Structure 1
Amino acid sequence: MNNDKLFNNMENIELHELPMQRNNTDGVEETAVTNQPRSDYPGSRRPIPVSLVEQDYRRTIAPASGLEFLRDVNQLIIQQSIELNDLISNISSENRYIVKVPRRDAIYYATETSGDFQRNCFGSGRAFVMRLFDRTQQEALILERRLACGNCTFWCYLQRMEVWIPPGDYVGVVRQQFSMAMKAVFYVYNDCELLYRIEGPSSFGCILGKAQNFQIYNYDGSTQIGSIIYQWDQVQVCYNMLLQMPSNIANNKHKALLLGSAFLLEYMFFESSKKRSRCCRCIC
């Protein structure tokens, strides 16, 4: 099925915010979530059958959850949809992305919601809500990023990305960790349980806007189990994010957290480099 036809009606979906609070479960002082976005769909999720094209066959599923599209998936490509406004104007617009499995159909369509003031004043460091819609055109995931500094010299208030499942189930958080070596270090938590550690190249507040590799380790950092790679796609003639996850992850929520990690890295290190012709930039 053509991806444009699959997602062409999603732009008209109206989304609202639902006041919500949750308790601090990770032992770190933080601001409570007061505006948790949700879709305009009333009641429970609609089990709509969809057809999926695998490598050599087609199958039909009626997913009870948007996370079911992550089943048996260990690689994902995050590809930005370039807007005409971004090409002809210096004013930043809300980003959109396609999340797809290599050599298969797209499984998610991601759309950003953010304020004009933060986009134009804080650029890629802005706060936003990213909504991921699945093949049934229903919300599968909600990623919420706060406005914070990415430079480890401001260690008291670093980056974090919360992951939610509609209509308001908290999955976990991706938190930037202070590093004396100025490395890009992130911890991935499922609620209060540390799952993964992500390490990137030394940046000293700046990073080249070219191909980079972030390693995903297990919770104690002893074994590399995956990677997040920013690489050039010769077919699409653009840079994409490639998320490689271990094949033994059975919990789709853990995959959703790693997907949220990839989106956070996309904004922190690479989002501005796609819109500017210079080779490096500040991430603070």
Structure 2
Amino acid sequence: MFNASPPGYQPTTTQPGPTPQNGGWMNFPQQIPNCPTGLESLTMVDQLLVQKIYVEELHRDGFLINNSSGQKVYYVEEDSDGSLLQGLRPFDMKIFDKYINEAIHLYRPLACQGCFFPCCMQSIEVLSSPGIVAGRVDEEWSILLPKYAVKNASGETVLRIEGPFRKNLCCGSVKFKIMSADGRVQGKISWYELGSRNDADFVITFPMDLDVSMKAVLLGASFLIVTIIYILVGVYFY
């Protein structure tokens, strides 16, 4: 079993950033049985587009998470003084819903930078509100292909993610396959070279009927993977 929450975790109910008054938010479904609070919108999507934005009132970068129609689903900001996705330092990322309540929390512990030994594998823990573990993503040791195990709250591997050869991670846009535990392709995480797409920096695609908690975990996986790609290509979100 995983920790109930990362060190220093505090659920947030209000936070600066894009608000419902700005418009463009998708309709927020209400009272879905057995759906964790804040994840209701994920029941209605099979694709998430993540785009970096600059938040003037905070004087820092953030992210908008949109559906395939371009409607806002979530807003993301990092709960630290560092630059978003800069290096492989530990971070907490807060993901807010339409009502500016924290719906998802991402926590990544300290990791070794540029190290491929088994003791230095990357991981990220994903929590839904209020501090309930949805699952986690653990990098698996591999020399040629980047591989990740996507686990539920009980620690069972539900999905796997496999990328292209490591040398190809520095060569333009790349795609990571999302597969079931028995190897069937279920979706993908696509990272786009800077400037090659104007509506998203990376896109996550998954089955519509996938458990909403696992959709949230895949969202966390995408941030972990993109962080590592940016380390390899030497570009950060400043």
- 1:133 pairs with 2:133: no
Q: 1:138 to 1:239 in 2, by over 3 A?
A: closer
Partner Cα separation in structure 1 for residue 147 and residue 141 of structure 2: 7
- 1:243 pairs with 2:204: yes
Partner Cα separation in structure 2 for residue 60 and residue 239 of structure 1: 22
SS of equivalent residue, structure 2 residue 158: strand
Which residue in 1 is equivalent to 2:38?
Answer: 66
Which residue in 1 is equivalent to 2:188?
Answer: 227
Which residue in 1 is equivalent to 2:219?
Answer: 259
TM-score under structure 1 length normalisation: 0.67
Partner Cα separation in structure 1 for residue 190 and residue 54 of structure 2: 20
**Structure with more contact order per residue of length (Cα contacts < 8 Å, sep ≥ 6):** 2
Q: 1:63 to 1:152 in 2, by over 3 A?
A: farther
Which residue in 1 is equivalent to 2:148?
Answer: 186
Aligned-pair CA distance for 1:234: 5.7
Amino acid aligned to 1:147? L
Q: 1:75 aligns with which of 43, 47, 52?
A: 47
Amino acid aligned to 1:35? G
Which residue in 2 is equivalent to 1:162?
Answer: 125
Runs of 5+ unmatched residues, structure 2: 15-19
Structure number with greater Rg is 1
Q: 1:33 to 1:142 in 2, by over 3 A?
A: closer
Runs of 5+ unmatched residues, structure 1: 1-24, 42-47, 85-92, 277-284
Q: 1:137 to 1:63 in 2, by over 3 A?
A: farther
TM-score under structure 2 length normalisation: 0.79
User: 1:75 touches 1:242 (CA, 8 Å); kept in 2?
Assistant: yes
Q: 2:12 aligns with which of 39, 43, 51?
A: 39
The alignment yields a C-alpha RMSD, in angstroms, of: 3.2
User: 2:106 touches 2:125 (CA, 8 Å); kept in 1?
Assistant: yes
Identity of aligned residues (%): 25
Partner Cα separation in structure 2 for residue 154 and residue 183 of structure 1: 14
User: 1:217 touches 1:225 (CA, 8 Å); kept in 2?
Assistant: yes
Partner Cα separation in structure 2 for residue 127 and residue 101 of structure 1: 28
SS of equivalent residue, structure 2 residue 172: coil
Q: How many residues align?
A: 220
- 1:207 pairs with 2:169: yes
Stretches (4+) displaced over 3 A: 51-54, 59-64, 232-235
Q: 1:60 to 1:143 in 2, by over 3 A?
A: closer
Which residue in 2 is equivalent to 1:97?
Answer: 63
Q: 1:105 to 1:226 in 2, by over 3 A?
A: same
User: 2:54 touches 2:60 (CA, 8 Å); kept in 1?
Assistant: no
Aligned-pair CA distance for 1:82: 4.0
User: 1:108 touches 1:133 (CA, 8 Å); kept in 2?
Assistant: yes
SS of equivalent residue, structure 2 residue 86: helix
Partner Cα separation in structure 1 for residue 224 and residue 112 of structure 2: 13
Q: 1:94 to 1:178 in 2, by over 3 A?
A: farther
